[in-house]
Amino acid sequence: MRGIPESERNVAGLTRYIDDRELPARSLFARPVPAPCARGRLLGIDASKALALHPSVQVLDARDVPGENQVGGIVSDEPLLAEGEWGYVGEPLALVLAADRSLAREAAALVELRYEELEPLVDEREAAAAGSFILPPQSIASGDVAAAFARCAVVVSGRADSGGQEHLYLETQGAIAEPGEGGGVRILSSTQSPSGVQRAVARVLGLPMSQVEVEAPRLGGAFGGKEEQASTWAALAALGCRRSGLPVKLYLERRDDMRWTGKRHPYSTDFRVGADAEGRLLALEADFYQNSGASCDLSPSILARTLFHAVGAYRIPEVRVTGHMCRTNLPPFTAFRGFGGPQAFFVIESALDALAAKGGWDPVELRRRNLLSEGDLFPYGQAAERCLARATTERLLAKSRWAELRREIDEFNSSHALEKRGAAIIPICFGISFTTIFMNQGGALVHVYRDGTVSVSTGAVEMGQQVFRKIQLVVARELGIPESLVRVAPTTTGSVANTSPTAASTGSDINGMAALAACAEIRSRLLAVAAARLGAEAGELALESGEVLREGAPTGLGWAKLVAEAYLARTDLSAHGFYATPGIWYDPKAGRGEAFAYHVYGCAAVTVRLDALRGTYRLESAAIVHDGGDRIDASVDLGQVEGAFAQGAGWSVLEELAYGARGELRSDTLSTYKAPDITFLPELEVEFLEGRPNPKAVMGSKAVGEPPFMYGIAAYFAVLDALRAARPDLPAFYDLPMTPEKALMHLARGRG
């Protein structure tokens, strides 16, 4: 990211996160009192020892909530402070305030709880068997699936399980709440959803939203974990502020963050897939059992995307897929990069792997034969437009020298008994839009100051993905000025209201288009001023490189002078822009609609080397061909693809959440939860498909945040390919992540 000022500040350690902010005098620190077991009934709280510790200590419980004791968004099933029964280890039961962080922690440990422990549900299959669901199941169906299976020459059934994933953002959850004017409150929150936090805090405090202002400074990472879940911690800080009348800071330590916050949803899925004698896919059935955790959070929307992506990058004419939201006694699972898509991709790729093995087909050829083509219908009725599934896959196969690589691997495996190599490809097709249609909207406020500098405010939150950089470039290009003149202001609900979360890979699309609309209005006003000054028609003029051009020729009227003259002429140099993604709709009852503005395509190949004695392996190489449209900033997009691949590969073969039978998280430190590092990553080559602009997004670009995550799934199937070479006598298994322990147990099966 050389040359990007914001990145240079980050590298130099100059960026200030919430925990770096100086606090006003007399500020208090907040510490939740967590539920000690996965499920229990609260009988009483004795805070006397905590209160005796220091005069600054205060202890709040559900009775102190002035408004509604509820932060659940889609379903009101998530109290801010539990009253009666609680549902997971770490659920806040009370809130301690004290003069410093250590004192708050000490006081919280002295709060005594009287409770009855209840039997928890931890596994999604057990929850389903017990009838423990959050909402009724969701389904998408197309065609006559039973008749299609009757026509199949080869049918295979199986089960695919995928585990959760810890977000591991660098900055943990946190918020600072300060009293505002007139009884209001101002929140500094590490959130992807300022308006979501604003709504939750207003609800809890019993205030109108106009009395709650939320600022989201630059976040130290989020990956979805700060979309819905930031509301709880901000609302707790706000409650402490309201009751104490003082500024309150709440900031989680790493281990507490890992124990108490939600993660990627684990899934367990039954699948059935069939093809004709030539290997053309005819039918797919799948039942997805989503471990939703103790409350709803965003589970319905995440499950909806799972169903939307159930066929991956393939054409399957007859489909029936159903998703079940299983309520368990684990922290509510939440958004994570891919938002339900990765779980779906793992299932369809597992189904095709099993089908290829049963039908005797080459796994890559089976995938090529069934790739989406232009005009093919997704199961929800939308047609594939500007479909690049085949273009990206064929380019990837050529780039990776796939046929030659396959021969090299087979030759290596035939001559090495204790080492095996493996390789796999995965094509992707990922839809871009919020699956909740009304969320596809955003606003922007642009000010041009009389010295020619520009400030732009949008609903986009910067969390390391460089959305501010892209918006800066969009504004500079639309106004025809150097990017150095453009500042993207911190995101606040006071500047832009009713923002959608920065999520679903839509941050640049929606907010960039809103900023573009505002700039277009200002540019039109400025060109009218220039036309009067030059005695020209506005249509003859353009703004480029900081100067007014007339039919392409310089006029001598520069940007700064034009702005100054416009100001003196009493021209409005501010504009609000608004964008709502056009053409999208979805009827959930019918399971039909134009759910996405467009799709992103791509393909990845991964090779691995397996120690067939110990079960350990390393990723050797990865090649990716990605459909990125016209990139606004090529270096940003490259970084996003590389980072998403690393995160996806980590989920696939490395990162394992381990819960005990009583619902306690055992992998709650970085010594027990293994995350990717630089030594884990393979040699990686990324190529962007050129010359394919996207007319459905800002300046011909395409979203790049989430789609590349799916490339990492190829690592699972590459290891599986190596395991097959080592133990061709055993059937494959589909249980992600493919940890070395699982590989070793597979290698040792039947060998005493």
Lowest mean pLDDT among 8-12, 312-316, 631-635, 704-708: 8-12
pLDDT in tens, 169-219: 999 999 999 999 889 999 999 999 999 999 999 999 999 999 999 999 999
CA 20/CA 629 separation, integer angstroms: 38
Give the position of tokens 């559900």.
62
Q: CA quadruple 5, 8, 12, 13: dihedral positive or negative?
A: positive
- Position 15 scores a pLDDT of 87
Strands 585-587 and 574-580: unpaired
CA-based nearest residue to 162, from 361, 378, 333 = 333
- Position 35 scores a pLDDT of 98
Domains by residue range for the chain, with CATH: 5-119+173-251 (3.90.1170.50), 267-435+589-748 (3.30.365.10), 441-580 (3.30.365.10)
pLDDT in tens, 58-80: 999 999 999 999 999 999 999 99
Q: In this model, does residue 662 exceed pLDDT 60?
A: yes
Q: In this model, does residue 752 exceed pLDDT 80?
A: no
Cβ neighbours of 587 (radius 10 Å): 11
Average pLDDT of the segment spanning 498-520? 97
Contacts of 393 (CB under 8 A, 6+ apart): 367, 368, 371, 425, 427, 603, 625
pLDDT in tens, 388-401: 999 999 999 999 99
CA 699/CA 693 separation, integer angstroms: 8
Task: Write out 193-228 in H/E/C secondary structure.
Answer: CHHHHHHHHHHHHCCCHHHEEEEECCCCCCCCCCCC
Token readout for 19 is 């925990």
Query: What count of Cα atoms within 13 Å lies in the side-chain half-sphere of residue 6?
Result: 22
Average pLDDT of the segment spanning 140-150? 97
CA 701/CA 629 separation, integer angstroms: 5
pLDDT in tens, 377-391: 999 999 999 999 999
Asked if residues 137 and 66 have their Cβ atoms less than 8 Å apart, the reply is: no
Average pLDDT of the segment spanning 611-638? 97
Token readout for 701 is 């670009």
CA 76/CA 732 separation, integer angstroms: 42
CA-based nearest residue to 698, from 516, 568, 457, 425 = 516
Token readout for 72 is 């659940």
CA 61/CA 63 separation, integer angstroms: 5
Q: Treating both helix axes as pointing N-terminal to C-terminal, what angle do 714-726 and 341-359 enclose, rounded to 10 degrees?
A: 30
CA 481/CA 446 separation, integer angstroms: 14
Judged by DSSP in three states, 138 sits in strand
Task: Write out 367-397 in H/E/C secondary structure.
Answer: HHHCECCCCCECCCCCECCCCCHHHHHHHHH
Token readout for 350 is 């597992």
Q: Which amino acid makes up residue 610? A: L
The CA angle 162-165-170, to the nearest 5 degrees, is 165
Please give the C-alpha separations between residue 734 and each of 67, 96, 158, 522, in angstroms, as whole numbers.
Answer: 47, 45, 9, 55
To the nearest 10°, report the CA torsion of 69, 71, 75, 77: -50
Please give the C-alpha separations between residue 424 and each of 405, 719, 747, in angstroms, as whole numbers.
Answer: 11, 8, 19
- Position 10 scores a pLDDT of 78
Q: In this model, does residue 533 exceed pLDDT 80?
A: yes
CA-based nearest residue to 336, from 464, 191, 223 = 223
Percent of the chain with pLDDT over 70: 99
Judged by DSSP in three states, 38 sits in coil
pLDDT in tens, 78-116: 999 999 999 999 999 999 999 999 999 999 999 999 999
Tell me the β-bridge partners of 290: 267, 325
Write out the catalytic residue numbers.
Answer: 706
Strands 248-251 and 28-34: parallel
Q: In this model, does residue 484 exceed pLDDT 60?
A: yes
The pairs formed by 21-25 with CB atoms below 8 angstroms and a separation of 24 or more are 21/176, 21/188, 23/176, 23/247, 23/249, 24/178, 24/247
- Position 2 scores a pLDDT of 57
Mean pLDDT score across all residues of the chain: 97
- Position 3 scores a pLDDT of 61
Asked if residues 723 and 351 have their Cβ atoms less than 8 Å apart, the reply is: no
- Position 649 scores a pLDDT of 98
The secondary structure of residue 546, as a DSSP letter, is: T
- Position 14 scores a pLDDT of 82
CA 408/CA 88 separation, integer angstroms: 50
CA 698/CA 162 separation, integer angstroms: 35
pLDDT in tens, 311-323: 999 999 999 999 9
